[in-house]
Amino acid sequence: MVQPIIPHDNKLWFRLESRLLDVIQLALEMMRNKENSFPTPEDSISRTLDKYIRKANEELRREDRHVDHLPVFQSQNQPDHNLPERDEAEGKKPDFLWQWRDASEKVDYNRYKQYAIECKRLGKPPSRFCKPYVAEGVCRFINREHSYSKYSPSGAMIGYIQSMEEKDILAEVNEEACSSNISEIELSHEGWRKNGVSRLDHEFDRPNVPPSPFKLRHFWLDLR
């Protein structure tokens, strides 16, 4: 089988991704400003976010900053036709899955790639929320059995802050990341955004899921 081209330094890809990140950023801000209260379950918060992703994309369409196809809520990984049917990763479900078209691909079924967005709660107790943010979030972009954002050079996570100070959460999350041999997550130069959306990033190797190295974007929404 013909293996997909991996767009390590694809400037067109990162320009396309930047549009999606703008949609997510605006959707989170809109949800934070317009909702009076938030449900406790993670999936319920993400379902509400799905509504605002649609609203945000329509808002950005007026400025030609939208995306043509929105992420789908809790859709399972799409088939990788370079692997046998019912590969283990095919049954996994990121919270949001965005399919994008890579025009550089020569083979039709390799041209459509998936960008995963995983959502997790953050706060007390750390063992219940901060550790799973890495073990059941970040690691799903690394391990073979989940293969989130396979063939894509980046992906995203959304953290719903429900308690604790941001700096303490980041310390707990990075302690877990280091114990899993994953590079630390770094806060953007804009710093923490109280009652808003803070941006963080890191890059790491993932030898079992191409491409590597891989960039993971983080949006932390303050719901306190």
User: Residue 156 — very low, low, confident or very high, per pLDDT cuts 50/70/90?
Assistant: very high
Separation in Å, CA 221 to CA 64, 157, 162: 25, 11, 9
Do 70 and 27 contact (CB within 8 A), yes or no?
no
At 132 the pLDDT is 95
Q: How far is CA 24 from CA 21, 98, 192, 210, in A?
A: 5, 12, 17, 24
Give CA 56 to chain center in angstroms: 17
Phi first, then psi: what are they for 159, rounded to 5°?
A: -110, 130
What contacts 67, CB < 8 A, 6 or more positions away? 16, 19, 20, 23, 57, 98
d(CA 13, CA 72): 19
Residue 144 is given by DSSP the state T
Q: Which region among 5-19, 28-42, 124-138, 161-175 has the lowest average model confidence (pLDDT)?
A: 5-19
CA pair distance 79, 102, nearest whole angstrom: 16
Confidence of residue 42 (pLDDT cuts 50, 70, 90): very high
- Average pLDDT for the chain: 92
Domain ranges of the chain: 11-222
pLDDT of residue 146: 97
Return d(Cα 219, Cα 49) in angstroms, integer. Answer: 13
Helix axes 42-61, 11-34, angle to 10 degrees: 110
Pick from 77-91, 139-153, 161-175: least confident: 77-91
- Tell me, what's the pLDDT at 9? 52
If pLDDT is split at 50, 70 and 90, which confidence band does 115 have? very high
Torsions phi, psi for 69 (to 5 deg)? -130, 125
- Residue spans of beta strands (DSSP E) within 110-213: 112-122, 154-161, 186-187, 197-204
Label residue 219 by pLDDT band (50, 70, 90). Answer: very high
Residue 42 to residue 123: CA distance in whole angstroms: 12
Examine the pLDDT at 7 and tell me if it is beyond 70. Answer: no
Residue 14: its pLDDT value, please?
86
pLDDT computed for residue 40 by the predictor: 87
Of 6-10, 11-15, 52-56, highest mean pLDDT: 52-56
The yes-or-no verdict on residue 133 having pLDDT over 90 is yes
Express each pLDDT in 182-205 by its tens digit.
999 999 999 999 999 999 999 999
- At 3, is the pLDDT very low, low, confident or very high (cuts 50, 70, 90)? low
Q: Is residue 160 a contact partner of residue 223, using CB atoms and an 8 Å limit?
A: yes
